[in-house]
């Protein structure tokens, strides 16, 4: 899932940097790309944080079980 979001972030960055928006009237499209990029980055951070917390929780449970078994 993170790979998909990373690809989407890269595509939005490419559009922002190299997009073909030339007229001031269409500049709102660039603004929407910035907003979407911010949303995707926040989403990616939340997913990565949840994944990392789940891994830490599993590791903690395993270590607690080891301690209980060794006692």
- The domain ranges of the chain are 2-70
Number of H helices, E strands in the chain: 2, 0
Q: How far is 4 from 10, CA to CA, in rounded Å?
A: 10
Q: Which residues contact 68 (CB under 8 A, 6 or more apart)?
A: none
Q: How far is 23 from 8, CA to CA, in rounded Å?
A: 25
Amino acid 29: pLDDT: 85
Q: Determine the distance from the C-alpha atom of residue 54 to the mean position of all C-alpha atoms in its chain, rounded to a whole number.
A: 16
Q: Could you read off the pLDDT of 16-69 as tens digits, one per residue?
A: 888 777 777 778 888 899 999 999 999 999 999 999 999 999 999 999 999 999
């Amino acid at each position: 899932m993170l790979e998909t979001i990373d690809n989407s972030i890269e595509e939005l960055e490419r559009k922002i940097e190299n997009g073909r928006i030339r007229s001031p009237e269409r500049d709102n499209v660039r603004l929407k790309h910035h907003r979407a990029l911010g949303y995707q980055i926040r989403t990616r951070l939340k997913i990565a944080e949840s994944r990392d917390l789940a891994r830490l929780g599993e590791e903690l449970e395993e270590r607690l079980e080891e301690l209980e078994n060794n006692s």
